[in-house]
Structure 1
Amino acid sequence: MSIDDYRPTFAVGAVYDLKAEDLLRQGIHAILVDLDNTLIAWNNPDGTQEVRAWLDEMTMADISVVVISNNSHSRVERAVAHFGVDFVSRAMKPFARGINAAIERYGFNRDEVVMVGDQLMTDIRASHRAGIRSVLVKPLVRTDAWNTQFNRWRERRVWAKLEEKYGKIEYQKGI
C-alpha cells in the first residue's frame, strides 16, 4: 500500500460543484457517487434541493449517476427512491467490488467514470483499486454515523502523510 492509493484525482467542496460541462470536458460520462455525507447528509435521508438540481443537470447532459454505498439494500433504496437513480449497496469499499459491479452492469468505460466520495479510506481507495479517477468532497455534515468515526481517525493520519508528500489539498469549485 502506498500513500498514493489515497490521493484523489480532484477535490471539490461538494458534489453539486461538479458541473456537467466540466465533467464532459474531462471525458467523464458516468459518476459513481457515495451516499452518506456525499450525496445526502447521513442524518437527512431526503437530501436537498441542490442535490435534486444537480441530478437534473447530470440527466440533461446524459451523464449517468449511480450511488455506490456500503449501506444495506433497504437503507440505500429508501434514500435514493425519490431521486430516480440506480445504486449498488453493500459495495464493500475500500474494495472495488461495488464500483466494478456498476461498471459491468452498465458497460461503462473505466476512462469515462469517476467515483465521488467524502472519505479517503473508502471512496478514494476503492476508486484506485478499480482503476478509475476520483473526486474527494467535503462531508456534508461534521458528524458521522458510528461506523464511520473509526475511519475518520485513520483518515487523519493518511491525510497528514498526503499533505507531507504533496502539500495541502485544496478544495476547488469544480474540476
Structure 2
Amino acid sequence: MLKIFKPTYMVEAIYHITPEQLREQKIKAVLTDLDNTLIAWNNPDGTEQLIEWINVMEEAGIPVVILSNNKAKRVDRIAKVLHLDYVSRALKPTTIGFKRASKKLNLTTDEIIMVGDQVMTDIWGANLSGVRSVLVKPILDTDAWNTQFNRFMELHIMNYMIKKDPNMRWRKSINDESRIK
C-alpha cells in the first residue's frame, strides 16, 4: 500500500548527485522540486553551492528543469535567476506535470529522474509517472504553511517504511549501494 511513496534513491542533498552518477544510471535530465529541494522555501535566490551544481550539470549537458506546484509567476522569477527551464502548476502528485516536462525535454520517463523533498508530492508523482525518484532531506526544518500537513503525514509514512525496510537510509550518492529495494 505505501509502496507508492517509496523513492528509488535517498540522498542527503541534491548537490550530491553528479553527472557521472546520472550517466551510470542512463539518466539524461533532472526534474527537481523547487522549495526545500533546490532552494530554501523562504530564500528564492539560492546559494553558491546551488549555482555551482547547476553549472556542473549544464557543462555535462544534463538539463535541470524545475517541476513545481507553485504558480508560474513565482517559479519564473527563480528560474530566470538560476537560468533554468520549468514546469509550473505541475499538480504533483498527478502525472500531468511529469508528462509536460518529459515532452518539453523530448525524453522518455526512463531517461529522467525526479528529485524532491516530499514523498506525498514529488515521490508519489514520480512513481505514478514511471520516473525514478530521489528523496532528499529538506533544506530547512521549517515549511510554508501549506506543506506542514503533508510533513506530518510523511513522518508517519517514512517511519513505517524505514521500519519495514532497513535498506531505506540516507546516502551520499545515487550509486551508493544504488536503488532502494
How far does residue 164 in structure 1 lie from its aligned partner after superposition? 2.6
Which residue is equivalent to 1:130? 129
Partner of 2:43: 44
> Structure 2: which 5+ residue stretches go unaligned?
175-181
Residue 88 (structure 1) aligned with residue 87 (structure 2): yes
Query: What is the one-letter code of the residue matched to 1:55?
Result: I
Q: Could you list the runs of 5+ residues in structure 1 that have no partner in the other structure?
A: none
Q: How many residue pairs are counted as aligned between the two chains?
A: 174
The residue identity in structure 2 corresponding to 1:73 is A
CA distance in 2, matches of 1:48, 1:93: 25
Q: Is the 8 A contact 2:7 2:133 kept in 1?
A: yes
How far apart, in 2, do the equivalents of 1:111 and 1:88 lie? Answer: 19
* Partner of residue 156, structure 1: 155
Instruction: Give the drift of 1:82.
Output: 1.2
The 3-state SS of whatever aligns with 1:81 is helix
The aligned runs of 1:63-78 (5 Å cut-off) are 63-78=62-77
TM-score (norm 1): 0.96
Deviant stretches of 4+, over 6 Å? none
The aligned counterpart of 2:177 is none
Distance 2:168 2:107 in 1: 29
Q: What amino acid does structure 2 have at the position aligned with 1:79?
A: I
Residues 61-103 of structure 1, C-alpha deviation per residue, up to 9 Å, x if partnerless? 1111100000000010111211111101111111111111110
**Aligned-partner residue type, residue 110 of structure 1:** T
Q: 2:56 and 2:68 mapped to 1: Cα distance?
A: 22
RMSD: 1.0
TM score, norm. by length of structure 2: 0.93
SS in 1 for 2:99: helix
Amino acid at match of 2:105: Y
1:42-72 deviations in whole A, cap 9, x for unaligned? 0000000111010011111111110000000
Tell me, in whole angstroms, the C-alpha distance in 2 between the residues paired with 1:96 and 1:167.
29
CA distance in 2, matches of 1:19, 1:84: 19
* Residue identity (%): 46
The aligned amino acid for 1:137 is V
Q: For structure 1, which segment, 154-163 or 25-34, has the greater mean C-alpha deviation from structure 2 after superposition? A: 154-163
Counterpart of 1:142 in structure 2 is 141
User: Within 2, Cα distance between the matches of 1:93 and 1:110?
Assistant: 15
